[in-house]
Amino acid sequence: MTSPTEAPRGALLIQGLSVTIPKPAGEIRVLEDVSLDVPAGRAVALVGGSGAGKSMTACAVLKLFPVPAKITAGKILLDGTDLVPLPEREMQAYRGRRIAMIFQEPGSALDPVMSVGDQVMEGIVAHLGRRGARERAADALVRVGLDPALLRRYPHELSGGQRQRVLVAAAIAPGPELLIADEPTAALDVTVQAQILDLLGRLQRDLGMSLLLITHDLGVVAQTCDLVHVMRAGRIVESAETRQLFAAPQHPYTRTLVTGARRLGLWAE
């Protein structure tokens, strides 16, 4: 936990980021001139429809792309250090240790043949060493509301909500400064969704982390985040504080999202 005299860390600033995917007939630009910020110790949302480029933005921060993509312009600053020019060896020290990511499909994100304990300890051992790793893993499970006895279990023995909590525990165990959650409740039922969102909000505050929550659901944003960046077709079209964005959306696409959220009862003034 951040001490009262320690300045919060985990400030993310993306400036003019462009990402392309090479194709035989030429490059496809999937992100174009993306700029956004996640202030240290704050919860920030990146919202937009499917294919808007939200997950690609998260992958760019980690410099781990699901397809043969490359960063062609821009900066990705974590506490003032630009990650874009860092060699792979230095990036490995950031992934998991200083920047952690939670994925939307706990069933596929967890290895079915590894115990929960081994998977939660994996990042701890990689970044902090084996000494005390099991105790730290047990503490991480307690923080996410799970019994440490589950360290001996396997993913197929757990419910969907428990598996997602295990992913959260594995992410926070090494003590990251920035947590990226990519649609973390998409595969869960409504009741469990609310529990996971409450958990993420509490952990973000208690541990002093910065949180970048990627979602298409403005109801989720209203519950969790201080600031919102709206993405469409690989670009950021609007950025504002959450209440300001809901009260007076400026971009036509944002107005459509807010109107839809109100009609579905996801947001009430």
Q: Is residue 172 pLDDT above 60, yes or no?
A: yes
Q: Is residue 2 pLDDT above 60, yes or no?
A: no
Whole-number mean pLDDT of the chain? 90
Of 58, 193, 183, 176, the residue nearest 127 (C-alpha): 176
pLDDT at residue 5, as a whole number? 41
pLDDT in tens, 57-76: 999 999 998 888 999 999 99
Q: Provide the pLDDT confidence category of residue 216 given band limits of 50, 70 and 90.
A: confident
Domain ranges, ordered by start, for the chain? 40-64+85-263
The Cα–Cα gap between 52 and 101 comes to 19
Q: Is residue 268 pLDDT above 60, yes or no?
A: no
Q: What is the pTM of this model?
A: 0.91
pLDDT in tens, 145-160: 999 999 999 999 999 8
Q: Provide the pLDDT confidence category of residue 4 given band limits of 50, 70 and 90.
A: very low
* Cα-Cα-Cα-Cα dihedral sign, residues 128, 133, 136, 137: positive
Chain center to CA of 198: 15
pLDDT at residue 221, as a whole number? 86
> Could you say which architecture CATH assigns to the domain 40-64+85-263?
3-Layer(aba) Sandwich (3.40)
* Cα-Cα-Cα-Cα dihedral sign, residues 224, 215, 18, 65: positive
